[in-house]
């Protein structure tokens, strides 16, 4: 079947506004009477809060509100507690601070300088406690405990997932070769260029209005409703364009602080985090992964034991789910009969780690794909073939019970291997050694998830897609319009899709813009809404033409009688006639996530991989990427240019995490929380030779066969680079062994910070 719009690399709908500097982000918004909020953060990693005295700050001219624990008496108007997986966070610290950067108080003032001055007038007395920063040490019974009042947390473990299959001991007994290694990865940060930022106020009727660059408008609304003890309908969350997110802008980040200050000051309040604060707000999980793999001489995988210790920092955040998903896919895309995997989500005195593109998979993929490479090497097998020989195939059952579908690994792996001439003997000369490596990955999309959409035909012949999918660069606005256009039977050229930013008053419910779910979940909702609208337009046209709707066809924005193309109306004409007779809006509705949709354990699998050719300077250790190939199974690429952009950009963050990025802590103190010291990939770190391979194994339930792909490359990149380094040097990189050393200080002393 030929598509009119799907599969075409049209320009982004938000593109012209963005290249002209006219796209509005949260940071660009102003509101009359607006105050500026600043946050007082803990300078110590773990301490009891002895005293918080805000009286002097409150007296400073220009200060309109100071927020502290005194504003949260038991049974008071605001509830201090929130948290994505458990109510472990508080709006401001109540009795303890648990990481450097933990929120102690906040001020709203006429300008940022006055607010900063007020912060310096807040007197805080900290009684320091021993800290713990190594996740493996943290679970020892004698280690300092971050929480003692939450029953779901024991020995700093806030979550444990187990995946079991077969008989693990038997699996290793029957293996001819056993590999066992420990892999470590450090803390990293998202570094979205637009900092976290929110603008909040209460309107005359008492409704709370929040503009914020969030990925989860409905989630933010729900959490704010709990804090402010208000019905959700009394809160409106609006999302302008978002300047990068990558997982960091899900659930409350600054919205609650802006709103609480606005509540206290009775004025609009804007909070824009400084870059250093962004580093302390949410991070990627540092990890220790112990992995043991058993296989037969022919390369057949027999057994996999995995222990995942993920450092979630001071609060659970999304950590429990990150660990859950990483553990459940710790076997990779492979068939392994005997499995024992345990994942632990562990609290330490660091900023909390949450969702970051790849959602826990990069850490574990480094382990399982290094083992696949080591297996091939030790058994003298081809690294592509040993992977292909072990793949779970279409229709196979994954250990979680989900079915493998739309998983184009074989094609992808062969193309990746061929693209870099994997196995080539050219290893370079002299001090420069050349190596090649590949890796693949698997990630689950999120389950039990719902999206609603509306597609509206406007009086002037334009259309509006009402969807709460957040446009954060991935191209949601464009892809949703393409899906709607395809289903409506209109061409993008000549038809205007009027943008509507997510707004909980206007755009219907959507679970969230995360987990690469929008193209699949919201895409289905939009497609259904477009079909519903098309049916309504056809019915109305049939009425006008006094003909049965079954005898009408739609193409290129026209409804006409089958076999008599000249007899018919354009959509614009139909809409004009409709509105001449009707007051009611002309809207189609669509929903994804009903019982039928939920029948499958998992909506779809993210399938991706990476191949690298690199050169190492054996004197300096400098690694130069000569070529990087990133690949993904798109199901069906709705907009190939956007898909390629997603895959290449995803892989680039992977380059950073493999070679450049680490947020470092010494005694709980972050030492490089700035762009000056935290090295991000620049123009100089990415190869010119950077092709993308898009495989298209259509997904039976995806809109036009499409599914998500935005996290399918990154998780494979560190492993591919490690494998290429082994090829060049003969050394297995299991990441920095020193990352966790020397930071488990147990000194106890009291300090006063005023």
The contact set with other proteins (CB under 8 A) reads: 11-12, 14-25, 27-28, 30, 190-195, 241-246, 272, 274-275, 472-475, 641-642, 644-646, 648-649, 651-653, 674-676, 680-684, 686, 688, 690
Cα–Cα distances in Å, from 592 out to 238, 508, 515, 550, 602? 22, 12, 16, 26, 14
Kindly state the DSSP code that residue 439 receives in the 8-state scheme.
Answer: E
Our CB check for other proteins shows the closer of 192 and 371 to be 192
**How far, in Å, CA of 665 to CA of 283, rounded?**
13
Question: Considering beta carbons, is residue 193 or 562 the nearer one to other proteins?
Answer: 193
Q: Could you tell me the smallest distance in angstroms from the CB atom of residue 34 to other proteins? A: 11
Residue 321, C-beta contacts closer than 8 angstroms, at least 6 positions apart = 85, 359
Min separation Cβ 546 and other proteins, Å:
46
Among the listed residues 466, 5, 514, 479, the one whose alpha carbon sits nearest the alpha carbon of residue 219 = 514
Shortest separation between residue 643's beta carbon and other proteins, angstroms: 10
Distance CA 284, CA 264 (A): 33
Nearer to other proteins, 188 or 301 (CB): 188
Q: Which is nearer to other proteins, 27 or 94 (CB)?
A: 27
**CA neighbor of 623 nearest in space, from 612, 636, 631, 607:** 612
Q: Least Å distance between CB 72 and other proteins?
A: 31
Give the angle 653-659-665 at the CA atoms, nearest 5°.
Answer: 95
Q: Smallest distance from the beta carbon of 253 to other proteins, in angstroms?
A: 17
CB of 155 to other proteins, least distance (A): 36
Structure tokens at 460: 């002037």
Cβ closest to other proteins, residue 112 vs residue 225: 112
Determine the distance from the C-alpha atom of residue 329 to the mean position of all C-alpha atoms in its chain, rounded to a whole number: 17
Length of the chain: 754
CA distance 680 to 627: 19
Q: CA-to-CA distance for 481 and 490, rounded, in angstroms?
A: 10
Strand bridging mode 197-202 / 208-212: antiparallel
Q: Are 104 and 713 in contact (CB under 8 A)?
A: no
CA dihedral 641→642→644→650, nearest 10 degrees, is 160
Task: CB nearer to other proteins: give 560 or 678.
Answer: 678
Which phi and psi (to 5°) does residue 406 adopt? Answer: 55, 55
CB 468, min distance to other proteins, A: 18
Name the residue nearer to other proteins (CB basis): 253 or 304: 253
Residue 145 is given by DSSP the state P
Nearer of residues 618 and 674 to other proteins, judged by Cβ: 674
For residue 477, the minimal CB distance to other proteins (Å) is: 11
Rg (CA), the chain: 27
- Return the closest-CA partner of residue 223 out of 419, 51, 83, 23: 83
Q: Which is nearer to other proteins, 35 or 93 (CB)?
A: 35
Q: What tokens were used for 13? A: 């709908």
Q: Which is nearer to other proteins, 363 or 474 (CB)?
A: 474
Rounded CA separation 198/687 (Å) = 37
Tell me the closest approach of the beta carbon of residue 269 to other proteins, in angstroms.
16
Quote the least distance from Cβ 296 to other proteins, whole Å.
39
DSSP state letters, 518-533: HHHHHHHHHHHHHHHH
Q: Of the two residues 101 and 332, which places its CB atom closer to other proteins in the complex?
A: 101
Helix (H) or strand (E) holding 575: helix 571-581
Residue 220 tokens read as 């933010």
Name the E strands within 135-281. Answer: 157-165, 177-185, 197-202, 208-212, 235-238, 269-272
Asked whether the beta carbons of 260 and 232 are under 8 A apart, the reply is no
CB of 458 to other proteins, least distance (A): 23
Residue with tokens 């497609």: 527
**SS3 category, 23:** coil
Residue 219 CA, distance from chain mean position: 14
Nearest distance, CB of residue 240 and other proteins, angstroms: 11
185 by Cβ neighbours in 10 Å (0-12 / 13-18 / 19+) ranks as buried
Q: Which is nearer to other proteins, 349 or 519 (CB)?
A: 519
Closest CA relative to residue 728, chosen from 492, 341, 430:
430
Q: How far is the CB of 170 from other proteins (least distance, A)?
A: 46
Show the 3-state SS of 540-561.
HHHHHHCCCHHHEEEECCEEEE
C-beta of 496: minimal distance to other proteins in Å? 17
Query: Among residues 14 and 70, whose Cβ is nearest to other proteins?
Result: 14
243/508 with CB nearer other proteins = 243
Q: Which is nearer to other proteins, 30 or 425 (CB)?
A: 30
Cβ proximity to other proteins: between 284 and 324 the closer is 284
Hey, is 503 helix, strand or coil?
strand
User: CB-side exposure of 516: number of CA atoms within 13 Å?
Assistant: 32
State the nearest-atom distance from the C-beta of 274 to other proteins, in Å.
6
Q: How far is the CB of 65 from other proteins (least distance, A)?
A: 21
Q: Dump the DSSP string for 453-480.
A: EEEEE-TTS-EEEE-----SSS-HHHHH
């Amino acid at each position: 079947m030929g598509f009119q719009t799907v599969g075409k690399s049209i320009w982004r709908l938000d593109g012209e506004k963005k290249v002209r500097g006219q796209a509005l982000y949260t940071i660009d918004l102003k509101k009359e009477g607006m105050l500026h909020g600043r946050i007082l953060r803990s300078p110590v990693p773990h301490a009891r809060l002895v005293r918080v005295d805000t009286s002097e700050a409150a007296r400073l001219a220009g200060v309109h509100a100071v927020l502290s624990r005194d504003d949260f008496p038991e049974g008071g108007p605001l509830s201090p507690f929130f948290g994505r997986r458990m109510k472990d966070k508080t709006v401001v610290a109540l009795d303890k601070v648990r990481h450097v950067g933990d929120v102690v108080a906040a001020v709203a003032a006429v300008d940022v300088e006055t607010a900063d001055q007020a912060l310096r007038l807040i007197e805080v007395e900290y009684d320091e406690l021993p800290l713990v920063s190594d996740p493996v040490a943290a679970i020892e019974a004698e280690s300092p405990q971050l929480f003692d009042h939450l029953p779901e947390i024991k020995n700093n473990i806030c979550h444990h997932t187990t995946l079991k299959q077969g008989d693990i001991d038997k699996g290793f007994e029957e293996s001819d070769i056993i590999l066992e290694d420990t892999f470590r990865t450090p803390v990293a940060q998202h570094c979205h260029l637009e900092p976290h930022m929110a603008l909040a106020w209460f309107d005359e009727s008492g409704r709370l209005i929040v503009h914020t660059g969030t990925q989860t408008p409905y989630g933010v609304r729900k959490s704010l409703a709990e804090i402010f003890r208000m019905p959700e309908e009394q809160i409106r969350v609006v999302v302008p364009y978002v300047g990068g997110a990558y997982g960091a802008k899900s659930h409350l980040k600054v919205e609650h602080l802006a709103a609480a200050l606005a509540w206290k000051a009775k004025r609009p309040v804007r909070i824009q985090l400084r870059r250093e604060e962004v580093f302390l707000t949410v991070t990627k999980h540092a990890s220790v992964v112990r992995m043991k793999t058993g296989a037969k001489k022919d390369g057949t995988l027999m057994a996999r034991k995995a222990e995942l210790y993920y450092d979630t920092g001071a609060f659970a955040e999304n950590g429990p789910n990150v660990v859950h998903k990483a553990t459940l896919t710790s076997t990779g895309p492979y068939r392994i009969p005997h499995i024992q995997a345990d994942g632990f989500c562990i609290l330490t005195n660091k900023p909390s780690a949450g969702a970051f593109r790849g959602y826990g998979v990069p850490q574990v993929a480094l382990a399982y794909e290094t083992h696949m490479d080591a297996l091939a090497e030790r058994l003298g097998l081809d690294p592509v073939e040993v992977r292909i020989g072990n793949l779970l195939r279409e229709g196979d059952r994954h250990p979680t019970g989900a079915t493998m579908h739309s998983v184009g690994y074989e094609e992808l792996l062969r193309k990746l291997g061929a693209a870099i001439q994997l196995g080539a003997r050219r290893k370079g000369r002299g001090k420069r050694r050349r190596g090649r490596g590949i890796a693949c990955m698997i990630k689950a999309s999120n389950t039990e998830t719902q999206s609603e959409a509306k597609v509206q035909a406007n009086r002037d012949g334009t259309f509006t897609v009402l969807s709460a999918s957040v446009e954060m660069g991935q191209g949601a606005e464009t892809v949703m319009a393409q899906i709607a256009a395809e289903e409506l039977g209109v061409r993008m050229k000549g038809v205007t899709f009027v943008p509507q930013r997510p707004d909980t008053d206007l755009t219907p419910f959507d679970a969230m813009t995360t987990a690469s779910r929008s193209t699949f979940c919201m895409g289905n909702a939009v497609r259904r809404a477009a079909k519903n609208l098309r049916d309504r337009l056809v019915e109305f046209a049939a009425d006008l033409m006094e003909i049965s709707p079954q005898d009408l066809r739609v193409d290129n924005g026209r409804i006409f009688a089958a076999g008599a193309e000249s007899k018919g109306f354009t959509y614009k004409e139909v809409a004009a006639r409709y509105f001449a007779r009707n007051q009611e809006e002309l809207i189609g509705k669509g929903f994804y996530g009903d019982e039928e949709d939920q029948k499958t354990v998992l909506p779809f699998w993210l399938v991706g991989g990476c191949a690298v050719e690199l050169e190492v300077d054996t004197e300096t250790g400098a690694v130069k990427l000569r070529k990087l190939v990133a690949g993904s199974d798109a199901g069906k690429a709705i907009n190939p240019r956007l898909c390629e952009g997603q895959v290449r950009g995803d892989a680039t963050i992977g380059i950073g995490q493999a070679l450049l990025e680490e947020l470092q802590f010494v005694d709980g103190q972050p030492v490089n929380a700035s762009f000056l010291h935290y090295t991000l990939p620049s123009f100089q770190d990415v190869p010119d030779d950077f092709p993308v391979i898009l495989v298209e194994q259509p997904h039976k339930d995806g809109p036009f066969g499409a599914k998500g792909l935005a996290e399918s490359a990154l998780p494979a990149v560190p492993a591919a680079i490690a494998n290429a380094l082994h090829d060049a040097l003969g050394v297995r990189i299991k990441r920095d062994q020193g990352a966790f050393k020397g930071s488990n200080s147990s000194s106890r002393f009291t300090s006063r910070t005023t």
